[in-house]
Structure 1
Amino acid sequence: MAVIDSRGRLHGKIGNVVYRTVGDMKIVQARPARVRQTLSTKESALEFGLISNCGRILRNLYSSFSSYSDGRLLNRMNVSLLKSLKDTEKKRGERDLHDGNPKHLQGLQFNINSPLTEVLAVRPQCSLTDGGMRVQVPSFNVSEDLQLPKHTKNAVLRLMVAAISFREGYYEYLDYMDIPLQYGKVIPEQEWLSEIVLPKGCIVLVSASIHCFGIKGIDGEPLSLNGKEFCPAEIIGAYNIKEDEAGATGEMEDDITDEPLQKKTFYTRHRLINYRGEEILKEIARKRKRDKKYQAQLARKKTEKTGGEFSTDGMTIPIAEKVFYKRE
């Protein structure tokens, strides 16, 4: 039903015709015909929903700097997660991110306006060791090899290790280390060996980010200068820890460099909220079962018209041909 407002404009639909108004423009359009989607299309849409769901959780995990993203982080993260999911021998509907290869997340920039690759001239390198995680940062000059915003009083390069398990429903921040940065100083080569317990069956992510601070506020705390125009952060390492690859416990070793470093280890698990991965995989299985019944019905109707036989669940059932009688 369509209605006419006080200005004489039509709103609503009559049959297949829809009347609507966008600004000062009056639009009349026909409703599209109903299209039956194939099973493959439905499965792809559901799997992309799984990716989007996992991406939202990862952005919450890195909320300290993903909140200052350039607005296109959602697309970049979904592309990387989709590549990770497909990099496995398992078929669609039987896989999640733990089956894929998280290496495709490595190099993900959280803010394209200030990528870490352009802000910092050197590249942090991380590697998985038998006892935990190792991150190496080459020597660099803060004044020459680092781009900082104006009014920066002090800054830190933060290295952080986090783990997430979609199957068990939690994520946690395992360890981090801050490297103080000051103008005019040369930061010697850093090697951070974090001897942490890598949870079994988790995806471990290592990030590097730069946090800048200006003058102190009324509470005495320095004000953050990070924002949508400047917030360099990158995932520099991504690993899938299998059940038999978990690291051993150990004490953190002191760095061999002379540069003072702030370090802290903390284990606090956060429960995943609204993770729908298992639900989506079950929905794909239901749609496959429903489509199988639908295809069997089509095959039966076709054979009933033409005569012959059709198969269902491995059994072949003959169909008697129709006999037409001619009137005398």
Structure 2
Amino acid sequence: MAIVKNNHISGTIGPIVHKTWRNKQVLQSQPDKPKQTEATKQSADVFGKSSSLACLIRDNLYGCFVFYDPEMINRFNTPVMDVMNHCFDKETKSFTFERDSFVRLNGFEFNAQSLLVNSLFVHPLVNLENNKLTLHIPEIDIQTQLKFPVGATHCIIKVAFCLYGMEEGMDTAVNHKTQEISKAQGIVSATEFSITVPEGTLAVVGLGLQYYSKSEGMNTLINNKTFEPAAICAALINPGTFLKENLGEDAEKWQHKDKLKLKIKGQKAKKGTGLKKQTAKIEKEPTALETKLNIARNLKKLGISFTDIAASTGLTIKEIENL
């Protein structure tokens, strides 16, 4: 549609665009609409699902953190998208995931201005076996392994589990927290949290520290936009087929996210094949050294100096350079 204003035509008539430039009438042809190829459509679809999945994980892990740095969302979208692209088969237009497909999320820090590894100096261990996921937090020596910021007198370790049934596009979140920890304590006993993880599910475990000052029955939160230590401990897939009927009593706790349904390779041909199961024995959990290396890789991506990474992980500068 075009209109006449001050003796000049403005707008579109057929394939011609009419506009005014320096008080002169200008005509030009409309630009061709870009044609989307099948490949670009696939890329756009994977991009959309990747962004939605990253958002789902972040939202479900808010039980362990609230504040995050301004670049966190983009930083987190990148590894999720890398995994999704790597696991997508362009020929079958489906995904193939294995137990450790999302391992690159391990050690991801939600606030680059206050790293969890600089506040908590023990390594939580995650184990997934027989549909049971366990997070083990080792014994903590308060004086040397849990750093309290200025003004803080108490701390709570917050844990969040995000579960995502890929094929059905269903998810749920489970939150836990430790008993109150006082700065004056000597040793905090080891703690474990366990949940059931159905087959065909991606499980992401997040851990954060909430500090506060306690005085005369009043709690004052210390955490803020620049101080919120929280990170992902592990991201694992429990191989198999996700079936709603296997959720039992917990079914009502799961939500449907239709846009997050993923076509898993092999599902259409034969029900029950599910996510790829390992033919060999289940891999052992990462060693302490492997965990340190993985954390160092993430810190290196954040641009943290090699000296600070070495101080946080105990690795040598040379080991960090070789990552």
- Does TM-score exceed 0.5, indicating one fold? yes
The answer (yes or no) to whether the contact 1:105–1:238 under 8 Å persists in 2 is yes
Q: Given the superposition, is the C-alpha separation of residues 242 and 3 from structure 1 closer, same or farther in structure 2, using an over 3 Å criterion?
A: farther
2:63 is the counterpart of 1:64: yes
The question of whether the paired residues in 1 share the 8 Å contact of 2:95 and 2:262 is answered with no
List alignment gaps of at least 5 residues for structure 1: 21-29, 247-265, 282-328
Q: 1:32 to 1:121 in 2, by over 3 A?
A: farther
Could you say which residue in structure 2 is the equivalent of 1:205? 204
SS at 1:64 equivalent: coil
Cα distance change of structure 1 residues 128 and 166 upon mapping to structure 2, 3 Å threshold: closer
- Tell me the residue number matched to 1:159: 159
Q: Map residues 99-138 of structure 1 onto 2, 5 A cutoff.
A: 101-130=101-130, 132-138=132-138
Give the fraction of aligned pairs with identical amino acids, expressed as a percent: 19
Query: After superposition, what is the alpha-carbon deviation per residue over 1:156-209, rounded to whole angstroms, capped at 9, x for unaligned?
Result: 122343322243343223463415432243335625262x42223221122211
Q: State the alpha-carbon separation in 1 of the partners of residues 147 and 19 from structure 2.
A: 55
Could you tell me which amino acid in structure 1 is paired with residue 228 of structure 2? C
1:239 aligns with 2:236: yes
Pair member with larger Rg: 1
Contact 1:156 1:179 in 2 (8 A): yes
In structure 1, distance between residues paired with 2:38 and 2:235: 33
Q: Check whether the contact 1:85–1:95 (CA below 8 A) recurs between aligned residues.
A: no
CA distance in 2, matches of 1:41, 1:65: 37
- 1:56-103 CA distances to partner (integer Å, 9 max, x unpaired)? 222221233554111222212211212222343733773358678222
- TM-score, L = length of structure 1: 0.60
Provide closer, same or farther for how the CA distance between residues 272 and 58 of structure 1 changes in structure 2, counting only shifts above 3 A.
Answer: farther
Task: Give the SS at the match of 1:45.
Answer: helix
Which of 251, 255, 276 is 1:271 aligned to? 255
Q: Report what 1:141 is aligned to.
A: 141
Q: 1:274-313 to 2 correspondence within 5 Å?
A: 275-278=258-261
Kindly provide the CA deviation profile for residues 260-316 of structure 1, in whole angstroms up to 9, marking residues without a partner as x: xxxxxx99614245x4134999xxxxxxxxxxxxxxxxxxxxxxxxxxxxxxxxxxx
TM-score, structure 2 normalization? 0.60
Amino acid corresponding to residue 214 of structure 1 in structure 2: S
1:229 matches 2:213: no
- Rate the CA distance shift 1:2–1:268 in 2: closer, same or farther, 3 A: same
Counterpart AA for 1:277: L
Q: Pairwise CA RMSD of aligned residues?
A: 4.1
Aligned to 1:136, the other structure's residue is in SS state strand
